[in-house]
Chains A and B, each alone.
Chain A
């Protein structure tokens, strides 16, 4: 793998980690809602956002896989 490819790869890993971070924070929010610290509607919104983030993460991984197989076929 060249230096350039590694940079692209790092960027993609960053993109995949972003939704994971969102999921983690939204889950914390749901815990707070269950304890009654924030209104329950926020828990519901958080769950919807978690679902969206899982799709984002999956998409990022697909991109990464595509990029990897491209670099393989180039080689």
Chain B
């Protein structure tokens, strides 16, 4: 955060400029002329001064002597109305000064406050990461295929079922479908696994006053709320099976009756549902009635796991770090080697795990520097279990694979280290040393 002094005699300009500068996360004070500016300089310390060239009581350049006398000279950006003034100022004050030429744009203010060079790089980075349908990031072939499907289905009103592992971004795809559909209604999302059997009816279809104990008022359900829009039903397979006939009736007749009500209410929305179960599993485990499946999955879309589109990892990581930079006014930049490390990992928790990891790295890093400090290992409690399944792949270090093998073996023998060491063909001492190096011994021993 910087403390900025804005010196300009146009109150309307300073008013809006202050809003923008404050939004950028800086503190800003204003002066309408040279004498007010001089006054502030005696009271406050400033990191940056935005100085109008033409002020009622003289030119902004007159302030330079006072600035030179300060213990820490603030950076100065001159605001001029005329591009040709640039040349004159350069002669007066040397080349080491920034300019803003009126009319000013927000990006220009942003650039001078953050140091022009870094900002330009970041702007380029931002520009190259395209968000498809305003939500989705990725240039891989599998994502391009997904975009094609979204575009096709968005032109129809067909119900969509999204299939994919946990963390691939099913909700984000649902939002993208909504955005692509260009419908006037809202996007409403609900999680079918989050409600008890008694409450899910009220959540989906609404209830009338007095329908059950605690129903103190009338409530409209999500089907009603999503009128002319998109309804996202997450974890559809977790919905109690005996509630499913009610859902089927709604999908077939396109009307809802609120719990405890008698009136039928017509509904008109696209239903996008999602599950992290596989297609075969849905059929075998009977978590979803067949008739409901065919109503919901008119157009099934499978979202690829992150390990099948590794080329998108740098894009996603850069986009996440850009978001965090914006949020926390930091200036983190990935190094190519770091992005390669991220690419080498399998991300069993998919994009969600990647985002979480980037967030953790950003918290660990020094906010005043550009370098990002990567945690030593990329692991989450959920990752350990799953990462043993994919076959060995080039690009991982021996150390990583060794660690994974050790943990997998320990899990197999329920933590018995003597047995594990025997299976691994190493001495118990070596095993203890390894575990110690992973920082995992204190728990057990």
Contact = CB atoms under 8 A, between A and B. Distances in A.
B251 interface: no
Interface stretch (B17-25, B349-357, B411-419, B428-436): B17-25
A26 B106 CA distance: 10
Given A17-B81, A21-B104, A38 B19 contact: yes
B106 A18 contact: no
Interface in B1-19: 10, 12-13, 16-17, 19
B104 A32 contact: no
Given A38-B19, A38-B23, A49-B12, A21 B106 contact: no
Contacts of B13: 18, 21-22, 25
B23 A17 contact: no
Contacts of B20: 25, 28-29, 32
B268 to A, nearest CB: 27
A26 B54 contact: no
Nearest to B10: A18
Tell me the dominant secondary structure on chain A's binding face.
helix
A24 interface: yes
A41 interface: no
Given A20-B103, A31-B106, A14 B16 contact: no
A32 B18 CA distance: 13
Contacts of A37: 23
A24 B17 CA distance: 11
Contacts of B19: 29, 32, 38, 42
A31 to B, nearest CB: 7
Nearest to A23: B103
A14 B54 contact: yes
B377 interface: no
Contacts of B397: none
A32 B16 CA distance: 11
Contacts of A21: 10, 13, 81, 102-104
Contacts of B103: 17, 20-21, 23-25
Interface string A49-60: 100000000000
Interface of B: 10, 12-13, 16-17, 19-20, 23, 54, 81-82, 102-106
Interface of A: 13-14, 17-18, 20-26, 28-29, 31-32, 37-38, 42, 46, 49
18 contacts: A17-B82, A17-B103, A18-B13, A21-B13, A21-B102, A21-B104, A23-B103, A24-B102, A26-B12, A28-B16, A28-B20, A29-B16, A29-B19, A32-B23, A37-B23, A38-B23, A46-B16, A49-B12
